[in-house]
Structure 1
Amino acid sequence: MGESSFFRRISEQPVSRRTLLAGSLGAAAAAGLAACSSAGGSSSAGSNIKFWDMVWGTGNTYTAKAKSIAGSYTPTGKNRGITYQSVPWANWYQTFTSAAASKTTPAVSTGAAFLPFAFLESGAVAPADDLVSKLDKAGKNDFLPGLLDAMKTSKGYAAVPWSLDLRVLWYRESILEKAGADVPTDWDSFIAAGTKLKKIGVTGLGMAGSSTTTDAQHTVAALLINNGGGLFAEDESVDCVTERNIETLDFLNECVKKGIIYAGAAAYTSTNLATSWTNGSVGMGFNQTGLDKTFPKAQQTDVKVASPLTGPHGDKGTVYYINPLMMFTTTPSQSSSEAFVEWYLDHIHEFWQAGVETDLPVKKSITDLAVIKGDPNLVKSVNEWQPLGKTIGAKAPAAFASLNTVDGGSASATFVQQIIQGQQSSKQILETLQTSLEAAIKKG
């Protein structure tokens, strides 16, 4: 996430963790960091280690459950207890970077997907290698394919995963039937289905491209990866202007010209898009795995996950954001940090059992639970989409620090708005993005 962008959470609403809102650092600290609870048996708060947790899933109900789980932690041996603090997404970047600069970071924290990579590089985060070894020895390393590997860097594991923000293709079954359209399986059939939806006044590819949301950025990233492309090379350098990327933008331009993408989507907020989904004016689109839960109960069975699309060269893929648990070097006890994270990973299944988490679980033991197995959309997301997922640094073997600088920043927002507006060539748009991303990374 870029320094000028901010996240928002709406209480009781399962909305994207990457919805943005400007806000003040003082308000963030007052609203979020004041919400504390102590855990760890008879340990006093002063001897506890600090655990910061972002406001995930369903907002207030998620936080209440997280505080309850953390509050049940009882340390063993000489390990310390924990003090739980809920941290809002508003101004999260400044909250963490200011804490790092003043060496007041917590011992353990959840956070934005690429934050631990930047902090590991700067020395603010401790590698999780010893913790991973403990999970291996205890038989608890059952992370889904590729997720733990994506956390590995030349300096060690930047963090461990705890949930997964994955983008999948959704469709409204009744609306496709009304249009006489088949569920698409590749890009050509997607255009065919979108064209039929347009004829009945329905948008075929729902997107929100305003500066207050990163929804459209995720859709474009998913399609770039679907075509074997991406914005970075294997060596982590910016590499936007490639044949595969041009081809992907040409596909999106065709969607714009045929009215499959709504022309006004460049100014759409996440609320606009959510309304369009529920009122039936959007028939297909990429979204989080909890999209169906945002619909009224009577409509939820009509909202379904499609199988992954096959790109023009036979590629399949999508974008994901691995939500991390990271350990900071400011901890008064690294062994206490590792002991708590190991314990916490044993208890995160409670979020899904309670229905307060809208992202995918990252552990096979959780995906085997009845609450997941009984949901066809989640089963398809886990079995068909998750193994194909990659970060926005798709071609690199793992995520890296620069992604934290450019993710969701102004350059990416301008990029998707230019695509939706359809007034420039694909190559021109990518050349502009290349220059902007290089400048953002150089600035740091």
Structure 2
Amino acid sequence: MKKTMLVLLTTVLAASAAGCSGDAGQQSQPSGSVQDAAKSNPSAGNGAKVELQFWDMVWGPPEYIDTAKALVDQFNSENPNIKVSYQSTPWNNWYQTFTSAIAAGTAPDISTGAGYQAFQFSQMGAILPIDDVVDDLKKNGDDFLPNTVDLMKYDNHYVALPWAIDIRVPYYRKDLFQQAGVTPPKTWEELRAAAKKLSGNGKYGMVMPGDTGGTHYVFSLMLNNNGGLFNKDKKVDFLNSRNVEAVQLLADMVKDGSINPAGAGFTGDDATKSFGQGDAAIIIKNPGFPAQLPELKDKIGLMDPLTGPHGEKGTIYWINNIMLYKQSKHPQEAKQFMKWWSQNNKALWTKGHVTQLPVKKSFTEDPYFKDDPERKEILEKWIPIGKTTAYPYPAVFPELNEIEGEGVMQTLTQEIMLGKDPKAIMDKANQTMKSIMKEK
């Protein structure tokens, strides 16, 4: 999802880091419990309102913003000594929006943001650790899905709270599969054979765009094969045999004529159009994708997770999160709102129609998820095998921004579709990643 991808602007980052140099490289110790919010602002007890700024990214259709505003209004009515102002923040130029605000001393008290945002800004000294918030939530019962909260740890502190999962899963055209006499594949071998049989006469078994959406295919197959960009010690391990097998599979499918080579110049929307027109039978997208093609909704199926050549399963996902900023004058009230938001934002799905999936186990028990076959299947079959781009390293870290944002994997994806030598393109990507990670 392009919203999780950063296009790092070196000059902006340098200016922003300089603007936060007083805190750069330092992690403040967690403040007191969120239960002590009133103590942090004596005037609150005298009827004065503490004002907080909440910047929320646009995570869904228009009804999402309306739902989020209604939730903020609900919090304000339940907490008369705090007034949260809601700002819907567009994704266009979002990185510059936040870095400029941090540098100018006008950052919000709290915000949602891209998957790695809290980690990068924490490295710049701009994010407030929330160890106490996590402790409070765990004391009241851990309602988070496994491997979501601990991913938010950086430099021995929790720097954000997870709220949604953005995952990539494969969809297929039921009608095209039926016409070709093909059943949905269960293994890599079956995937290659099915895609080949579905190709010909200007049609392709699979469409893969050349933008960041195309990198999700590469990530998905690498992680499906228990590969990954790094090892458990956070060292670049891109040339491991599992990754080589994944890239080779895509290269072989290109040679088979099963992947449209013109996809190297496609955007995600182009890929969707190709799939919708019946020019391709398989596509990898986010949950809720069939709703983008309502006229074909009954003809689009969700594939089961593939079993890799060594018996593993997996796919790529991102844990989107909510974070606090050190510039806040009212950190305890901000923590109070963060905790409330985490516990009460189920309506973002049931009314706001977010296409991602919640990190709260209790939310997933709602009929909105239980009674929808696609959402239910993704939650049951796909979420448990999701892995981050940091895998197998157990947490996310700032350099992932640059690895994704610099287009390392995007270039690799395009070159696969152009039929270039897999070893050569992997060697080039490996060197770039090592440079980013400052490895020799």
* TM-score, normalised by the number of residues in structure 2: 0.86
Deviation at 1:376, TM superposition (A): 1.0
CA distance in 2, matches of 1:22, 1:134: 35
The equivalent of 1:52 in structure 2 is 55
The equivalent of 1:81 in structure 2 is 83
What's the CA shift string for 1:221-275, capped at 9, x where partnerless? 1111111111122222322122111111110101101121111000001221111
Deviation at 1:135, TM superposition (A): 1.1
CA distance in 1, matches of 2:111, 2:3: 16
Q: Compute the RMSD of aligned alpha carbons.
A: 2.6
Deviation at 1:21, TM superposition (A): 9.9
CA distance in 2, matches of 1:322, 1:132: 16
CA distance in 1, matches of 2:240, 2:331: 44
Give 3-state SS (helix, strand or coil) of 2:376's partner: helix
Alignment partner for residue 315 of structure 2, among 309, 314, 318? 318
Asked if 1:434 corresponds to 2:437, the answer is no
Asked if 1:177 corresponds to 2:178, the answer is yes
Asked if 1:226 corresponds to 2:228, the answer is no
Alignment partner for residue 72 of structure 1, among 30, 54, 74? 74
What's the CA shift string for 1:201-222, capped at 9, x where partnerless? 532222111xxx3100111111
Alignment partner for residue 408 of structure 2, among 407, 411, 417? 411
Mapped contact 1:79–1:339 kept (Cα < 8 A): no
The equivalent of 1:7 in structure 2 is none
The equivalent of 1:124 in structure 2 is 126
The equivalent of 2:393 in structure 1 is 396
Asked if 1:237 corresponds to 2:235, the answer is yes
The equivalent of 2:95 in structure 1 is 93
CA distance in 2, matches of 1:179, 1:44: 69
| Bigger CA radius of gyration | 2
Count of equivalent residues: 405
Which amino acid in the other structure matches residue 428 of structure 2? T
CA distance in 2, matches of 1:200, 1:311: 30
Alignment partner for residue 248 of structure 2, among 247, 250, 253? 250
Taking a change above 3 Å as real, the CA distance of residues 167 and 151 of structure 1, as seen in their structure-2 partners, is same
Taking a change above 3 Å as real, the CA distance of residues 77 and 53 of structure 1, as seen in their structure-2 partners, is closer
Which residues in structure 2 correspond to 1:210-221 (within 5 Å)?
213-221=211-219
State the identity %. Answer: 36
Asked if 1:133 corresponds to 2:135, the answer is yes
Deviation at 1:328, TM superposition (A): 1.1
Taking a change above 3 Å as real, the CA distance of residues 77 and 56 of structure 1, as seen in their structure-2 partners, is closer
Taking a change above 3 Å as real, the CA distance of residues 16 and 380 of structure 1, as seen in their structure-2 partners, is farther
Mapped contact 2:8–2:402 kept (Cα < 8 A): no
The equivalent of 2:40 in structure 1 is none
Taking a change above 3 Å as real, the CA distance of residues 121 and 155 of structure 1, as seen in their structure-2 partners, is farther
The equivalent of 1:163 in structure 2 is 164
The equivalent of 1:148 in structure 2 is 149
What's the CA shift string for 1:138-194, capped at 9, x where partnerless? 23x311121112222342112111111101121121211111111110100101110
* TM-score, normalised by the number of residues in structure 1: 0.85
Which amino acid in the other structure matches residue 172 of structure 2? Y
Taking a change above 3 Å as real, the CA distance of residues 79 and 162 of structure 1, as seen in their structure-2 partners, is farther
The equivalent of 2:354 in structure 1 is 357
Alignment partner for residue 291 of structure 2, among 287, 290, 293? 293
Which amino acid in the other structure matches residue 328 of structure 2? T
CA distance in 1, matches of 2:117, 2:352: 27
What's the CA shift string for 1:412-441, capped at 9, x where partnerless? 2211111111122x2211110122223345
Mapped contact 1:236–1:400 kept (Cα < 8 A): no
Higher alpha-carbon deviation: 348-357 or 75-84: 75-84
Give 3-state SS (helix, strand or coil) of 2:204's partner: coil
What's the CA shift string for 1:113-155, capped at 9, x where partnerless? 011112223321112211111112223x311121112222342
Taking a change above 3 Å as real, the CA distance of residues 77 and 18 of structure 1, as seen in their structure-2 partners, is closer
The equivalent of 2:113 in structure 1 is 111
Taking a change above 3 Å as real, the CA distance of residues 341 and 388 of structure 1, as seen in their structure-2 partners, is same
CA distance in 1, matches of 2:344, 2:338: 10
Which amino acid in the other structure matches residue 149 of structure 1? D
Higher alpha-carbon deviation: 146-155 or 327-336: 146-155
What's the CA shift string for 1:320-373, capped at 9, x where partnerless? 011111111111122111110111122221021115211111111111111111
Deviation at 1:380, TM superposition (A): 1.1
Give 3-state SS (helix, strand or coil) of 2:82's partner: coil
CA distance in 2, matches of 1:176, 1:19: 33
Structure 1: give runs of 5+ residues left out of the alignment: 1-14, 26-39
The equivalent of 1:264 in structure 2 is 262
